[in-house]
Amino acid sequence: MGVLGLKSYVEQARKNIELEEGKGVIEQLLLECYLSPGISTKALARRTLLPTPITAAMKRELIKVGALVQDRGVRCTQDGAAWIEQEWGYEGMNRSLFKQLLHETAWKEATKHVLATLESLFSQRPEVNVQIDQSKCTAETSLRRAILCLKHHALIGKKIVCVGDDDLVSVSIGLLLQQLFPKGHHTTKVHVMDIDERFLQFIEQVAAQRGLPIQCHSLDLRNSLPHSLHRQFDTVFTDPPYTLDGMSLFLSRGIQALQKEKGIPIFLSFAHKSPEFMLAMQHKFVRMGLTVSANYPRFNAYEGAEMIANRSQMFILRTTDQTEAEYTGLFTDAIYTGEVKQSLRTYRCKQCASEVHVGVQGDIATIEQLKHKGCAHCGQHTFEMIAKR
């Protein structure tokens, strides 16, 4: 079977096996065989986090369509490898560097030149605007995010969107790709949505000077997302305002921008919060049909961000067949920390009409906490906002 005949093999394997995880796990299995030729079925099962019988069944289906071959372990056929390189953008990749980047200790030495370039660029970036919850992520943290994306097979050949990017993750991705693909033959595209024209202009300037595949969009995410950006992307990065509504809004815009597919990763950076706040966050995830596949405490480092102890956590969320944005239209409530602290909102219970003041100076801090605890008078969990000041 030639390369052209392989174009439907992932879908063909998906049709013949009932997989709750979505087609992404088939792609991952195929990539593992490409990157580690001769890999055993048990090792494939460990890397894909699937039971061995299901892994073996997927392997058999991919062998049937000519993508894989059993030969001292499992490896791609010549046609299968060519398809991955041409269709998924792996042609010309520095495999030795790729493997170094997967190791916790080796990546810093392997990327020291990229990191030096980033540190120089980060010293030139605009000053942060604390009124919109910007903070100075370190160059190393920005690069670590790009490498984390690579480890999850969500970078090479993908279309990535940064929902807000004062952390210059788009630039880190672009520079990392240049090192991975010395001949410049990769197909990854990065888009940036941000309200801050200063950062957009800086990113565009760096991208133009260094030939990085970045496109910027000047957007206030409180407004509806343009339809031209709906269902376009393979993964999302966001480090939103550290409020529940800010996080929900940025996640909602990211979900709207993602392709409709199970198992797509969303890389969410967020401050360490109280158990009550974290519970409310996870209620938000469930409401939007997202699962938490990983959490890395203290993953992100910031310069001079004492309010969050200079560190924040990294969540890797994944989409399901129930994933839907919580907010799709115009958003008019407060999303930034300063706004939320100043605002005091009055909510009325829809069951008994009792009123509760919500805000830092109110009876309860957030609407999520109110919904979780329920009305103090009747125990119901549905409320409507009737006043705001």
Q: Quick check: helix, strand or coil at residue 387?
A: strand
pLDDT score for 5: 44
- Please enumerate in sequence order all residues whose Cβ is within 8 A of that of 227, keeping only pairs 6 or more positions apart, or say none: none
pLDDT score for 43: 96
Q: Could you give the CA distance from residue 13 to residue 61 in angstroms, rounded to a whole number?
A: 5
Strand ranges in the chain using DSSP code E only, listed in sequence order: 68-70, 74-76, 136-137, 159-163, 189-194, 214-218, 235-238, 265-270, 290-303, 311-319, 345-349, 355-358, 383-388
| Listed residue (387, 302, 309) closest to 348, CA to CA | 387
Average pLDDT of each block of 10 consecutive residues along the chain (389 residues)?
Answer: 50 72 84 94 93 92 91 92 90 93 89 96 83 78 97 95 96 97 89 95 97 97 95 96 91 97 95 91 96 96 68 96 95 72 80 86 73 88 86
The answer to whether 284 and 225 are in contact (CB under 8 A) is: no
The answer to whether 231 and 258 are in contact (CB under 8 A) is: yes
pLDDT score for 134: 60
Would you state the structure tokens that stand for residue 249, as one six-digit string?
Answer: 């809004």
Q: Could you give the CA distance from residue 3 to residue 250 in angstroms, rounded to a whole number?
A: 40
Pairing of strands 68-70, 74-76: antiparallel
Residue 102 CB neighbours (<10 A): 12
Q: Could you give the CA distance from residue 240 to residue 61 in angstroms, rounded to a whole number?
A: 41
| Listed residue (197, 253, 193, 196) closest to 217, CA to CA | 193
pLDDT score for 133: 65
pLDDT score for 343: 65
| pTM across the whole model | 0.84
Domains of the chain: 4-87 (1.10.10.10), 95-319 (3.40.50.150), 343-388 (no CATH)
Q: Could you give the CA distance from residue 160 to residue 231 in angstroms, rounded to a whole number?
A: 12
| Listed residue (185, 206, 231) closest to 121, CA to CA | 206
Q: Quick check: helix, strand or coil at residue 45?
A: helix
Considering just the CA atoms, what is the radius of gyration of the chain in Å?
Answer: 23
Q: Could you give the CA distance from residue 313 to residue 327 in angstroms, rounded to a whole number?
A: 24
Q: What is the DSSP string of 80-116?
A: HHHHHHHHSS-TT--HHHHHHHTSTTTHHHHTHHHHH
